[in-house]
Amino acid sequence: MTTFIQLHLLTSYPPANLNRDDMGRPKTCTVGGAERLRISSQSLKRAWRTSEVWENGLAGHVGTRTKEMGAYIFRALTEGRSLQDILARSQSPAALEKLKEKPARDAAKAMAAVFGKLDDGKGDTGGEGESAGEQDAESKTAKDLFKDLKLKQLAHFSPEEITAISELTEEVRGTKATPRDEALHLLRKNLSAADIALFGRMLADASAHNVEAACQVAHAFSVQRVLVEDDFFTAVDDLNRDDMGAGHMGVTEFGAGLFYLYVCVDRDLLAGSLGGNKALADKALAALAEAMATVAPTGKQNSFASRAYASYVLAEKGSKQPRSLSVAFLDPITGPDMLGRAIEHLDTARANMDAVYGPCADAHAFLNAATGQGSLRKIIDFIIGG
């Protein structure tokens, strides 16, 4: 029987532009006929995955998402350094044998292609009248040098897969031969990457190694109607003593809101994707809960300092089919004590759902930072207990 963990958060952000659209405006959506601010699930997951909370809580169990693994392998072979040093951006001196460009490139392409199709680099040409292949090697930019080593799509590499790639890179350094067949079995099914287990991965050309996401993240939206506002700003030239005008003028858009966020985790699927390692699954759940409650998206933080902790967290646990409580905010929250009213609406929606469908969860726990009730530690203990 599947155990679902459901988390409902209310987080108040002051004036901010945490997640921008293609025009640089805060993302919005329409809920209940009213415009709301929105933070995409992709933005939230990116902030959590790259946070210190995640790094500290899941050290050694975090994957690497990149298109450029082939370029890193090529650099390791041609610069005489280990792949691990290259990935860590270490400044360690070259202490290993260096390969010439062609065997290094052939090996890097063979290894990278295991994880997806390579970008053919079409459209990137050299100077006028010459192809990229005719350019002098010394004049190539990094983009020119690595363009045929990059994947067309991002791939998520587990620590085990990076270790396998690192070991094969050193074999290539010794043999100077392009790896083939059995040597290229670099994909792994038993993973220890908590972020891959939580958020999944898709490898179009190796579907047997796809990972179904155990965690579903909704887009957060403001519980009140919002109006995106403009901030006209100027900057002064410190050395200008003659002109009274501004050295620079601009406009940035922002909004403020109390956001509702819903996340659902299939705890059994999470543990299964981690090879049945319940202890690691519990670490992943703890890191996820802490990041959700304490980590803000990084957009425009230097301009707005809009870091915030969740003011209210409701955690539910049970085997019944999950459901969001977003219906609580179809009517925009208005008036004073917006947080208090939002909590009331959330609790009422949960109680009404239970009344007509039966208990939608076996147990629940909450924290309310406005009243000092509960704690994040208790929320985490509740999630991983049982």
Domain hosting 278: range is 4-57+212-241+248-384
Answer whether residue 200 is part of any domain.
Answer: no
User: pLDDT by residue (tens digit) across 333-370?
Assistant: 999 999 999 999 999 999 999 999 999 999 999 999 99
Answer whether residue 376 is part of any domain.
Answer: yes
Do both 302 and 358 map to the same domain? yes
Do both 314 and 372 map to the same domain? yes
> What is the pLDDT at residue 1?
77
Cβ(278)–Cβ(269) below 8 Å: no
Answer whether residue 133 is part of any domain.
Answer: no
Measured between alpha carbons, how far is 284 from 61 in angstroms, rounded to an integer? 9
Picking from 9, 10, 8, 12, the residue whose alpha carbon sits closest to that of residue 255 is 12
Q: Binning pLDDT at 50, 70 and 90, where does residue 143 land?
A: low
How many folded domains does the chain comprise? 2
| 58 or 232: which leads in pLDDT | 58
C-alpha pair distances (Å), 119 with each of 10, 72, 212: 42, 15, 26
H helices present in the chain, as ranges = 41-49, 52-57, 69-79, 83-87, 101-112, 142-146, 159-175, 194-199, 267-273, 278-294, 301-304, 338-357, 376-384
CB atoms within 10 A of CB 219: 20
Q: Binning pLDDT at 50, 70 and 90, where does residue 121 land?
A: low
C-alpha pair distances (Å), 245 with each of 14, 233, 240, 241: 30, 13, 9, 10
Cβ(285)–Cβ(383) below 8 Å: yes
> What is the pLDDT at residue 139?
45
Do both 253 and 302 map to the same domain? yes
Do both 8 and 25 map to the same domain? yes
Answer whether residue 114 is part of any domain.
Answer: yes
Do both 21 and 77 map to the same domain? no
Do both 49 and 73 map to the same domain? no
Q: Give the mean pLDDT of the chain.
A: 91
Percent of the chain surpassing pLDDT 90: 74
Do both 96 and 47 map to the same domain? no
> What is the pLDDT at residue 130?
39
User: pLDDT by residue (tens digit) across 8-22?
Assistant: 999 999 999 998 888
Whole-prediction pTM value? 0.88
Answer whether residue 204 is part of any domain.
Answer: no
Residues 297, 303, 305, 307: what is their CA dihedral angle, to the nearest 10 degrees? -10
Do both 217 and 253 map to the same domain? yes
SS3 at position 193: coil
Answer whether residue 298 is part of any domain.
Answer: yes
Q: Binning pLDDT at 50, 70 and 90, where does residue 257 land?
A: very high
pLDDT at 169 over 90: yes
pLDDT at 137 over 80: no
> What is the pLDDT at residue 128?
38
Do both 24 and 151 map to the same domain? no
Do both 355 and 254 map to the same domain? yes
Do both 29 and 73 map to the same domain? no
